[in-house]
Each structure stands twice: as structure tokens, then as C-alpha cells.
């Protein structure tokens, strides 16, 4: 009676040892994949340049390709805590509240920061706002690249590859 019990215990130990070995191997593989991705991401950093600014849009160069972004689209896409409810991720205003003549302030209203982030200080507040504070928005180069073309937008929305 004791011998079969010992054999079962040893078999269980062997099975558990294999499971832990498989789990460790899987974890090790996952860590290597993540490290490889991080190294690739560092080497393939998105290059962002400001080409031109006019009354209706900005032209940016992202990785040597030219893209145009309308001011209304950019203002409507602001993700700051004043524009988006943090818990629901819903906009706190209507797109129709954005003035049709919105654009960056004249002097230093638009610039690219050192970490490849587009910064915009808007010349007007939303139509429904009672205070006339100057709003500013930040857009990462990754976000700008994602929303640069309809194809990219569709890919990001539906996780297509």
C-alpha cells in the first residue's frame, strides 16, 4: 500500500516539474520577445518634422513622408483631461463646439518638442466654454502616424495587421 502511494507521489512530482519547466521556458521566451521588440522600437523611432502651417491645416513630415492634419480634426482629437472624461473616455464637448476658424496662436502656437511630440496652443476656446482660457494639446508621433491615413486608422481601430 505504501509503495503505490510513493510511486504516485513521484509521478506527480515529475509532472509538476515538467509543468514548471514549461512555464519557465514560456516566460523566458516572452521576456526575450519583449526585449527584442523594445530594441526594435528604439531603433525605429518615428521622425517628426514640421513642414508648413496655414489657416486650415498643418503639414508634417513623419519618417520622410508628408501628411496633412486639419486643425478641427486635431482639436477634436485632444486627449487631455479637460476634453476627455477619464473614467468613460468620452469627449466632454461636441465637435460642433469647435470654431471653424480654430488654428494655433500666431507666435509660438505650434512646435515639436524634443521627444517628438507635437504641441499646439489654440487661438480660440470652444464655443460653449464660458472661460476664455488658452487650451493646449499634445500629440505623440505614434498617434500622429496612426491617424495619418485612413488605412492606418482602420488598422488601429480593428487591430488589423
Q: Enumerate the domain spans of the chain.
A: 1-44, 48-158
What is residue 141's three-state secondary structure? helix
Q: What is the longest distance spanned by two Cα atoms in the chain?
A: 90
With contact defined as beta carbons under 8 Å apart, do 156 and 146 qualify?
yes
Q: What is the pLDDT of residues 32-58, one digit of tens each?
A: 444 443 443 444 588 899 999 999 999
What is the distance between the alpha carbons of residues 15 and 17, in angstroms, rounded to a whole number?
5
For the domain 48-158, what is the CATH code? 3.30.2020.30
Cell numbers standing for residue 159: 487591430
Q: Would you say residue 16 has pLDDT above 50?
A: yes
The pLDDT, as a whole number, for residue 157 is: 60
- Phi and psi angles of residue 13, each rounded to the nearest 5 degrees, phi first: -60, -45
Range 142-157 average pLDDT: 75
Cell of 27: 516566460
CA 117/CA 111 separation, integer angstroms: 8
Higher pLDDT among residues 109 and 152, named by residue: 109
Residue-averaged pLDDT of the chain? 79
Q: Which sign does the torsion angle of CA 68, 136, 145, 50 carry? A: positive
pLDDT digits (tens, 9 = 90+) for 96-132: 999 999 999 987 799 999 889 999 999 999 988 877 7
- What's the whole-model pTM score? 0.67
CB 124 within 8 A of CB 99: yes
Amino acid at each position: 500500500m505504501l509503495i503505490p502511494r510513493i510511486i504516485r507521489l513521484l509521478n506527480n512530482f515529475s509532472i509538476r516539474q515538467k509543468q514548471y519547466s514549461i512555464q519557465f521556458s514560456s516566460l523566458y521566451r516572452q521576456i526575450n520577445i519583449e526585449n527584442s521588440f523594445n530594441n526594435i522600437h528604439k531603433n525605429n523611432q518615428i521622425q517628426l518634422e514640421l513642414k508648413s502651417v496655414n489657416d486650415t491645416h498643418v503639414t508634417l513630415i513623419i519618417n520622410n513622408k508628408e501628411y496633412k492634419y486639419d486643425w478641427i480634426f486635431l482639436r477634436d482629437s485632444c486627449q487631455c483631461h479637460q476634453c476627455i472624461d477619464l473614467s468613460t473616455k468620452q469627449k466632454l464637448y461636441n465637435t460642433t463646439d469647435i470654431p471653424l476658424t480654430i488654428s494655433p496662436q500666431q507666435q509660438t502656437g505650434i512646435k515639436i518638442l524634443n521627444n517628438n511630440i507635437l504641441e499646439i496652443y489654440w487661438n480660440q476656446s470652444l464655443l460653449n466654454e464660458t472661460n476664455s482660457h488658452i487650451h493646449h494639446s499634445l500629440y505623440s508621433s505614434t498617434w500622429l502616424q496612426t491617424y495619418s491615413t485612413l488605412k492606418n486608422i482602420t488598422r488601429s481601430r480593428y487591430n488589423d495587421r
